[in-house]
Amino acid sequence: MDSHDISSKLADNFNRLSAEAALTERERYVVYLIMKGITTTTITKILNRSIKTISAQKCSAYEKLGVSNDVQFIRKVISSTKDE
């Protein structure tokens, strides 16, 4: 499996998980940026929102996804391969 296949699989996992968790568009975008390795502080600058707003969206998304931190989120995306 090459890096393109891995990236594609992670994107598929992320899309499925966010749909199953019924994330809002903003929650989905915030956790997508986190998955890409962008810090919360940088996300506040990208989206022109306060740290409090971004943190609330992140917490809401994580609650819906059943995780409590960035590491659990990334692990869930990596390990949520659907059997084909």
Q: What are the structural domains of the chain?
A: 24-84 (1.10.10.10)
What confidence score (pLDDT) does residue 11 get?
A: 86
Q: What does the pLDDT read at residue 10?
A: 85
Q: What is the pLDDT of residue 1?
A: 67
Task: Specify the pTM.
Answer: 0.85
Q: E strands of the chain, at which residues?
A: none
Mean pLDDT by 10 residues, the chain (84 residues): 77 91 96 94 97 97 96 91 56
Cα distance between residue 84 and residue 42, in whole Å: 36
Please name the residues in contact with 26: beta carbons below 8 A apart, sequence gap of 6 or more.
57
